[in-house]
Amino acid sequence: MSHEIKIPSVGESITSATLGTWHKNEGDYVKAGEVILTIETDKISTELESDKSGILKHLAAEGDELDIGSPVAAIEEGEAPAETEDSTSEESEPEENDSSPDAGTAEELSQDEVKVTPVARKVAEDEGVDLSTVNGTGAGGKITKADVLEAVSESDSTQAESPAAKSTAPKEEKRTTRKKMSPLRKKIATHLVNAQQTSAILTTFNECDMTEIMELRKRVQEDFVKRHGVKLGFMSFFIKAVVDALKAVPSVNAQIEGDEIVENHFFDIGVAVGTDKGLMVPVVRDCDEKTFAQIEQDIIDYAGKAREGSMGLADLQGGVFTITNGGIYGSLLSTPILNPPQSGILGMHSIQQRPIALNGEVVIRPMMYLALSYDHRIVDGKEAVTFLVRLKECLEHPDRLLVGA
């Protein structure tokens, strides 16, 4: 009996997903609960497990974009083939007993006779790899995508290390490299373009003297770590300051839905996190009710999930405002793009020692540029500037965050 595995629903706003990677080959016997493939959306990657035991059949290829609910694989239910072990030993006997030591090996097979997965065959064609020279590590000696990529790598290293190849081969320099966009990168690109086209994005700037925050952190850091087990970073100050500014200017904590304005009365703040696959924005919940230590712990937990690739859809949904820190990469000034349907995003930047005028004197202070991008359809310029000034005041006088002044 054949059982279909379909693309599951991974969120209300997500209508399609891209098949990222097959973890099991066509024709493999899989057990219920085994991971067979990974799908990718513009937010997360999700592993799909087989809910039945049987022979796997691929119904889509890597890179295909499928609607939610579309079949992606089929399982021919049944027990594991009893003859697998015997047939394997029988197939290996001729290699040991044949008078010709090379008889029946992969080296003598033609391209069409080699056992190979569809994905591996396509990669081999693209890279110009002779499949008859590749040793398969899949079930029954089948050549997998990993086997082909390893053969490509070995070929490249052999050519690079061969002095003869260096002296006789003509010098070829690649002036360009072309590679296909990853499914996640395509989704991110579409998301950003849509944000530009559907919102009236404007950015206002200010700068912040970080002296007080830096001195406060230095004074309490040791005791803070002993008591809470986490370091007191800058991000918790910025999140608390954003909450204060959102309370002072409620229009920034609102969004447009159709012809209605929805004003939020909660403070779930998204914090942009860079990963190998792209930018993710996990959401720190109820920031108005959490302590600095709780916020720092949430950020650490999300950073761990991002590294492990275990971020869930629930971690990324429901934010009302986003903070992105380009300063960790050395950015001095930028204009961040909105994260729809939110109406505001704050850009943090590098802290630099700069001369400023203070009380009639020129002094050197650690300064940071702040950038607030906002949706001008719902937030007026006066409100945006008021928000950023309030944020600046909270950061330059962090004691206000502690007493609510």
Burial of residue 51, with CB atoms counted within 10 A of its CB: 0-12 exposed, 13-18 middle, 19 or more buried: exposed
Integer Rg of the chain from CA: 28
- Is 380 an annotated catalytic residue? yes
- Is the separation of the CB atoms in 111 and 130 below 8 Å? yes
What are the DSSP calls for 274-332, one per residue? Answer: E-SS-EE--EE--TTTS-HHHHHHHHHHHHHHHHHT---HHHHS--SEEEEEGGGGT-S
Set 23, 209, 380, 399: catalytic member: 380
How far, in Å, CA of 9 to CA of 256, rounded?
A: 25
Nearest alpha-carbon partner for 21 in 11, 32, 36: 36
Q: Which two tokens stand for residue 322?
A: 């986003």
| Sequence letter at residue 94 | P
- Is the separation of the CB atoms in 300 and 230 below 8 Å? yes
CA distances 137 to 9, 19, 103, 120, 143, Å, are 34, 23, 19, 12, 6
Q: Which two tokens stand for residue 215?
A: 């001195």
Set 3, 23, 191, 376: catalytic member: 376
Residue 311 CB partners (closer than 8 Å, separation 6+) = 44, 280, 282, 302, 305
- Is 349 an annotated catalytic residue? no
- Is the separation of the CB atoms in 134 and 143 below 8 Å? yes
- Is the separation of the CB atoms in 70 and 4 below 8 Å? no
Q: Which two tokens stand for residue 15?
A: 């209508």
Residues acting as catalytic residues? 376, 380
